[in-house]
A = this chain, B = another copy of it.
């Protein structure tokens, strides 16, 4: 009886340790110098870990977040049969700058709102490199894997730190935004900045949440997919709900992340410097990260290319997750 009780406690403790590891953690990087000469004061980077680090630290996979996303939202991608099997790998998921968790306009005490400096995805990746090398004492990883803006950071990792990883998988990411992508992001931040409530970033009511939602509805999948899933009545109910549901959205955070994406421009020549093996995943009907630049870079790298072709567009990573997860698993093995 006693023995069995202890065992139950052991299990509960073990589960709690796993739960703790998955909890939000932070690294303080101090004043962080940016490529453009600016500084992020008291730079703080959020992260979570999943799984167990090998004794020789050979099973680390770094996963940066997508635009507006957090490591909390990444959780469901880790586990047996998921995008990355965290029973085999030690996943370090990192919150990108300006996602509202890591240093951002919405949470910086010394550089609040639009006083938060413009930065690039090269800076974002540099914060992750510091986290790994200086805080977690990890100097080489098995792979970097990212979705969407996480995929853009993955391309940046490949050229910023070519010796750091064995493999890399940018998924519906891009080494540089295509003209269409630039137009859609510029339109979104212009709409935010012209909103009557934005007030140079000094808003009390968070502006244009409904419009931000609408851009997502229009572009994250395809018109054919949207019309199949929605009724005419739902359109208005969805918009009304989005207008009220502003709590997880900060306009200034979004503006700074979008500016970072728009500045991304990895030169074609730098493909020569890449050392890792790369699997590039694109979605044929992706209307957010159109697949041209990633496809071109994959050719230059001689990388494997997986093209998802459902009409789910940018969300093909969900709709075709079984296909994607299999391909990622095979490539990592």
Residue-wise interface mask of A (200-236) relative to B, using a CB-CB cutoff of 8 A (1 in contact, 0 not)? 0000000110110011011100011011001110111
Which B residues touch A218, using CB under 8 A?
Answer: 180, 183-184, 187, 218-219
Of B186, B195, B234, which is within 8 A of A195 by CB? B195
With a cutoff of 8 Å between Cβ atoms, the chain B residues found around residue A214 in the complex are 183-184, 186-187, 190
A236, B189: Cα distance in complex, Å: 13
Residue on B nearest A178 in the bound complex, by CB: B227
Whether B178 pairs with A190 at a CB distance below 8 angstroms is: no
Interface flag for A196 (CB, 8 Å): yes
Which residues of the other chain, B, contact A178 by a CB distance below 8 angstroms? 223, 227, 232
* Oligomeric state, in copies: 2
A195 neighbours in B (Cβ, 8 Å)? 194-196
Q: Which has the most chain B C-beta neighbours within 10 Å: A190, A198, A234, A290?
A: A190
Cα–Cα, bound, A177→B230 (Å): 12
Q: Is A332 an interface residue (CB 8 A)?
A: no
A218 to B180, CA, bound (A): 7
Is residue A287 contacting chain B, with contact meaning CB distance below 8 A? yes
With A179-B234, A179-B235 as contacts: A287 and B223 at CB distance below 8 Å: yes
Residue of B at shortest CB range from A234? Answer: B179
Q: Does A34 contact B (CB under 8 A)?
A: no
Name the CB-closest residue of B to A195: B194
Interface size on A, residues (CB 8 A): 41
CB-defined contacts of A234 to chain B, threshold 8 Å: 179
Chain A positions within 8 Å of B, measured between CB atoms, are: 176-180, 182-184, 186-187, 190-191, 194-198, 207-208, 210-211, 214-215, 217-219, 223-224, 226-227, 230-232, 234-236, 239, 286-287, 290, 292
Given contacts A179-B231, A183-B214, A227-B290, 19 further A-B contacts (CB under 8 A): A179-B226, A180-B218, A180-B226, A180-B230, A182-B236, A183-B217, A183-B235, A187-B211, A187-B218, A190-B210, A190-B211, A190-B214, A190-B239, A191-B208, A191-B211, A194-B197, A194-B207, A196-B198, A223-B286
21 CB contacts below 8 A, A to B, read A178-B223, A178-B227, A179-B226, A179-B227, A179-B231, A180-B223, A180-B230, A182-B236, A183-B218, A183-B226, A184-B214, A186-B235, A187-B214, A187-B218, A191-B208, A194-B207, A194-B211, A196-B198, A223-B287, A223-B290, A224-B290
Q: Closest 10 A-B residue pairs measured CB to CB?
A: A187-B214, A179-B230, A180-B223, A182-B235, A196-B196, A180-B226, A223-B290, A178-B227, A183-B235, A179-B235
